[in-house]
Structure 1
Amino acid sequence: MTEAPQNTGPRPEGGTTQPKRSRPRKRNGATKTSKPSDANSDSKERNGGKPPKRTSRQPKKPKARDPAKDYKYLEVKKLIRHIEPLTVNGIPPEIIQKRAHADENGNSSPSQNYVEDYVLKFITSQPDQPIHLSFQFAPSDPDFPYNVEMVKISLSIPPKYPYSKDARPSIYVLNDDIPRGFAVNLEIGFRRIAAAAMGVEDEEIELVEGKGLLSQIKTLDKYLEVFLKQEKKETIKFVKSKKRDKSSSPSPTPKEKPESKPLESRPVESRYVESRPVDVSVASVSSETARERARLIQEMNDKFGRETVKVFKKSALENKYKVILPIPMQKDHIPLVWQKHGKVEVFLHVPSDYPEHEATLSMPPNFTKNILIGYKDMQEANQIHKQVLAVEKNIERNYRNAGECGPQQKTLICVINWLYVHLGYLCMDAVDFEEWKRCVGKERESRG
């Protein structure tokens, strides 16, 4: 037999020469495709002979919004950089600065933007609460025809602004030299401006430099004269001593025109009266007082709803409401047991002759007791209850003695907002509360 020819080419290491694979034959010009892999075959068998479906990609989780880039914060930041606020949520900037320095633990370089930091922290920790800014600005029109040197307002920014079209900012005019009927015209005019900023068409309103908060304030400045020229809105004024004729209210007329009289400053009557027991018969309450009282109560109910304000008791002398206040961001002096509970309850007493006489405040006797029921250590619970009782007395006393540092307006909405913002101050003892009042009063005097 003839020997097979030897393969002289190189061999693979550790094995024999592999036979050459034949190329796939072409059939009708097409190349045969290779057989599916075992994995694909198994998948087809599991799916009834059908090819496996492609799995859809998991949706990406939305990135957490940076609070510093929140539209509301950016608008407030722009506003307070242009107009320095007198107060933020009722707190003067100087007190905010002192707290910021204290939080820095004595560091030599605390943040210079302490008010902005406070607003950012407030929006982050209390996203469902409104922001209240009070400030003043001089009319920019050099030919402004009224004797008003500074326009003082309180701006309320709703929690859902600017993400909801129904969440629109509002103002309350604080000037004593603008009669209330004309101040209402400014407030109504600002509502139109805020609505226009939210896209509501108003042919008479042309926004200034955009649609943000600063733009709305600049637009208010632009239309000050237009709003003040409007007919005075009828309002009800309550005076304890004697009734005043409607004709005695000054009229905002241009100061330089010979046929007009200047806008005069009216005598400022004290908004705060000495607390005394209410002894009023229903027959002695005028119909105007009763209507105004009903309107302000309805306004309070519409604003806060039954989750915050509930009727506790009604009588011929007063309505007693249970008000549920969330714990504010500023927790100093607030009992820890209340902080853990997340809210505190107070009683708001609205007399039958309100607003001729102010609403008063008291603390529910069983609120803290009910919280402490779950404590296993009864001795500890009793000790906490004694401490909280002292705080509750502080709240009642400090509210009575708040004076000019109390709510700037005595509407029920303003009272409840003020209670929420100043809850920590109301918990102070008498000495610390008087010192706080002195600081606030001094700051207001320095700002004129």
Structure 2
Amino acid sequence: MELQRLLHNFKPITINGIPVNSLSKPVNEFLLDHVMDKKNQESLYISFLMKPSDPNFPYELDFLKVSLAIPARYPGRSEVMPSITVLNEDIPRGFSVNVEIGFQQIVATAFKNRETKKNKKAKKESTPVPESKQSEDNDEEEADKIEMVGGNDLGAMLLTLDMYLEKFLAMEKKDTIKIVKFIKKQQGSSEKEKEKEEKKKLKKDKATKAKKEKSTTHAEPAAPVATSKTLQKRDKEIAKMKQRMRLNSVTLFKETSHNTIFKMSIPFKEENFTIEIENMEEIVIENLNVKLTVPKEYLSNAKKGLKLELDMSNAYNLRLLSSIKDKNLKLVFGKLINNINNNFTHLGLEVAKINVTVEKQESESQVGANTGSVSTNGDVTSYWSITSQLNFFVENFEKFLSPVGDFSKWLELNTMLNKSFQ
């Protein structure tokens, strides 16, 4: 019922990453099957464009692009709350975070209102609060009070977000973003056992990598095939990247027949980035010291995208890692580093597909112009330069900390929504 009321006001674009017009069933049937499937423990993701209803809305924002996550156990448990992710590329990430946090406040208000109604029905007596203290609490509540629009269900939460959108966007931009991670203890497994398992995995990965490197050394394949045109464009991109990032200590680390690898320091645009993990100390990152790999087949092979990894030979990174004394925290931070590396590789491959397609379209367009023929394909996707990929990484750094599956879903929704808006 809540979903039906929600979709009455907001038309979905995708459901669980699938475009609505590609669903095997009508939207209502698809959602009913999802909800009635008791074995399904996955969250429901619905993305849509939300047009600000205020005719005097002061910002140049035609639509707020939103992905709404509804946990499988909602609304049965009070601690299971829906959340949103803002996907607008034209909204600085700090302001998007304000909107997402604002929505959390709206959801908390809705849940509190539900609880209040339950308590009123039960007519439970509570311990009287002194008048002076009650007055102080009321004043604080009134200052931050959120008035719900049309009830306390999902649709009301989004309608309330629409009403408070100007207020959330007007707040001071969040320069320091905190990522909250929950550490779940495995039943019947001690911390020492988990640490041993992690070491075994690292040892196995290291052995596999060494084996690959050895086989590569003994039988190095032929140099990649790339046209002089794509190589020239690649070199120009590298030159532009070095020029634009000249203050970021860009240095050539290694040149091989397959790749060019750079070392660089990427600062955050505003302040340091803080990672906050529940019940543990904060990790403050001042800048990102990374290795960037640019394949020789970049722009000519859809399977050869940019790769980026944190440079663990860098003195700053080593100091940061050694400053973490708690073993659990060190393990979690190690996982976050792996997420960063894997997610950028995923981004690089997705971008490689786009860039190779663009290169092919430009080439065909040029051939058509030379031969006098006309291309009928007008669907030219935006090209991503090396610099734009690095900027995207810094702007959305907290997303790159997510598990690969979550990042993949976010990137897909982000791309799809922005494409549908063009």
Q: Structure 1-normalised TM-score?
A: 0.43
Q: Structure 2-normalised TM-score?
A: 0.45
Higher relative contact order (CA 8 A, sep 6+): 2
More helix by share: 2
